[in-house]
A = this chain, B = another copy of it.
Amino acid sequence: MSNDETPIRFGIIGCAEIARKISRAINLSPNSTLYALASRSIEKAHNFAIKNNLFSDSLKIYGNYSEILDDPFVDAVYMPLPTTFHLHWAILAAEKKKHLLLEKPTALNVEELDKILDACDKNGVQFMDASMWYHHPRTGKMKEMIVDSKLFGQVKAIHSSSSYAPGQEFLENNIRVKPDLDALGALGDAGWYCIGAILWAMNQTLPTTVTALPNVARNSAGVILTCSASLYWEKEETVATFYCSFIAHETMDLRVYGSNGTCYLYDFILPFGEDSASFNFTSGAKFVDLYIGWNVKPEVVEVTSQLPQEGYMIQEFASLVKAIKFSRSKPESKWPHTSRITQLVLDAVNKSIDTGFQPVHM
């Protein structure tokens, strides 16, 4: 098998629900293969493999996280562990020279993330967080239209939301709201996407200030269930707001307001369906005479895709890993940078909440 045909061998560390989706994507992506699975017990890993039709003679099953990292045939790991465990296991993975696809939120704070990124850097492994939507071809098409200064102009304002309402049992007991597991709560789980989308629209530049809004709700353990914030870019005079929640109806909004155009969609994190995805775009809208209507209606831009978005993510990640493994390329710095500024803003939102909604200067 030539290098071009050698698939990247993935190990999955932690058999979380989301790993079902990623294991499917690893098998769908043409340049990767699911090589190994690890859980805290052999049985759990085994059952996961059977339940998801992953079981085969070639699949390695590990009953702990250390052994999978010691397996020399594992090129890369996907790590959907609770956030608290990222620091330890992500650093260890990097030290074992495993390329790292890490679930979001990447860490409890940027100090932790920096330790992870340092470890990746020192060990020459690729880092990427597992925010899938960046990799959908729709996202690229939107960017192409937003950066077109004639079509869209400058970004003036952004609004995003990420919410779902999984119910009372979840709000007290799910790992996403446990202070010792995912202490960032809805901000880390749902807000991560909003912050990421806003920074994406602003070409990954940090805002001047970040200010949380007062609608913070917490569960009995003090973990955030709902919050909002505003971000402000002083030079550009651009404002962004977001809303994230575990107690509101499912939404995934991104709305980008430009000086000459508007771009929006309601399923930016997870497309309504896998077969096609779309967004709305309006450019050069004006009132018609007598103010009885608009000259244009929003155009629906459809984007076809060959893979689900997580398949594109795996394909992109695996191709970066292949370039490092076979062509001595350097890891792509765009992805750690993207994660890092998302985490920085997330930390700022938390800090603003903790200081009574004071603006945090970045």
Residues on B with beta carbons closer than 8 Å to the beta carbon of A247:
156, 259
Give CA–CA (A248, B209) in the complex, Å: 21
**B249 x A291 contact (CB < 8 A):** no
Complex partner residue of A245 from B21, B157, B243, B287, CB under 8 angstroms: B157
Q: Given A21-B291, A226-B237, A292-B274, answer yes or no on A159-B250 (Cβ-Cβ < 8 Å).
A: no
Q: Is the CB of B258 within 8 A of A248?
A: yes
Residue in B161, B239, B291 whose beta carbon sits within 8 Å of that of A243 in the complex: B239
Task: Tell me how far the C-beta of A169 lies from the nearest C-beta in chain B, rounded to whole angstroms.
Answer: 15
- What mask results when residues 117 to 158 of chain A are scored 1 for a CB within 8 Å of chain B, else 0? 000000000000000000000000000000000000100110
Q: Do residues B257 and A272 form an inter-chain contact, with CB atoms below 8 A?
A: no
User: Residue A72 at the B interface, CB < 8 A?
Assistant: no
Query: How many angstroms from the CA of A291 to the CA of B260 in the assembled complex?
Result: 35
* Distance between A246 CB and nearest chain B CB, rounded to angstroms: 11
- A291 near B248 (CB under 8 angstroms)? no
Interchain CA distance A43-B100 in the complex, whole Å: 77
**Identity of the chain B residue whose Cβ is nearest the Cβ of A208 in the assembled complex:** B214
- Contact call B249/A290, Cβ cutoff below 8 A: no
Q: Is A270 an interface residue (CB 8 A)?
A: yes
Contact assessment for B359 and A245 in the assembled complex, using a CB-CB cutoff below 8 Å: no
CA distance A264 to B24 in the complex (A): 34
Q: Which residues in B have their C-beta under 8 angstroms from that of A238?
A: 215
Is A116 engaged at the interface, CB distance under 8 Å to the other chain?
no
How many monomers of this protein are in the complex?
2
Q: How near does chain B come to A154, taking the closest CB pair, in angstroms?
A: 9
CB-nearest residue of chain B to A238: B215
A106 within 8 Å of B (CB atoms): no
A238→B214 CA distance, assembly (Å): 9
**A153, A260, A294: residue with the most chain B Cβ atoms closer than 10 Å:** A294
Whether the pair B241, A228 counts as a contact (CB closer than 8 A) is yes
A348 to chain B, nearest CB (A): 14
Q: Counting CB contacts under 8 A, is A251 at the interface?
A: yes
Where the two chains meet, the residues of A that have a C-beta atom closer than 8 Å to any C-beta of B are 18, 20-21, 24, 153, 156-157, 159, 161, 163-165, 209, 211, 213-215, 217, 226, 228, 230, 232, 234, 237-239, 241, 243, 245, 247-251, 253, 255, 257-262, 264, 266-267, 270-274, 280, 282-287, 290-294, 297-298, 308, 357, 359
Could you list 15 A-B pairs, sorted by A, with CB under 8 Å? A21-B291, A24-B290, A164-B286, A165-B259, A213-B241, A214-B232, A215-B239, A228-B241, A249-B258, A250-B286, A255-B255, A270-B291, A270-B294, A273-B294, A292-B308
